[in-house]
Amino acid sequence: MQIRNKKYLQINGEKLRVGIVVARFNKEFTDALLVNALDALEKCKVSDKNIRVVSVAGVVEIPYILQKLAITKKFDFLVALGCVIKGKTPHFDYVCKMAQEGILKVMLDKNIPISFGVLTVNNEKQAKERLHVGKEAALAALESALIK
């Protein structure tokens, strides 16, 4: 894992513009995902002025806002951050499917790298263990944006 982190820290994103869409639902976890994503971008020299963070109600709203950002053509890559914790009903399955398929559709239709930093977990313990995904999502999309 350390080798991978060193590799990513050599990425220079100073000229790139990023849009981050973060869900407010399960805010305890999504705030931490956002902090980790922003930290990774800072270490890769992405300027604060080149980062736009948009907060939405939940993960179902993420694809629509990603699409709105992609249409502007102001961004080199986008990051989706959210957290869905399984409950006792099938709602979890529908929400996760809508988010995943919607994000993929925007990425392919609008031809822009979008990382999937949406936690889909069984409980809060699993969510806490996966907060590093914010960093990984930001780095994955940044790296994809640099590939020509």
Q: How far is CA 51 from its chain centroid?
A: 13
pLDDT of 9 over the 70 cut? no
Is residue 83 within 8 Å of 29, Cβ to Cβ?
A: yes
Q: What is the pLDDT confidence band of residue 10, given thresholds at 50, 70 and 90?
A: confident
Could you confirm whether 132 is annotated as catalytic?
Answer: no
pTM attached to this predicted model: 0.93
* Paired tokens of 62: 């993420």
Q: What is the pLDDT of residue 2?
A: 44
Q: Which domains does the chain have, with CATH numbers?
A: 25-146 (3.40.50.960)
Helices (H) and strands (E) in the chain, counts: 6, 4
Sign, Cα dihedral of 72, 119, 37, 11: negative
Q: What is the pLDDT of residue 8?
A: 54
Q: Single out the catalytic residue among 7, 15, 68, 91.
A: 91
Q: What is the H or E stretch that residue 75 is in? A: none
Residue 88: strand, helix, or coil: coil
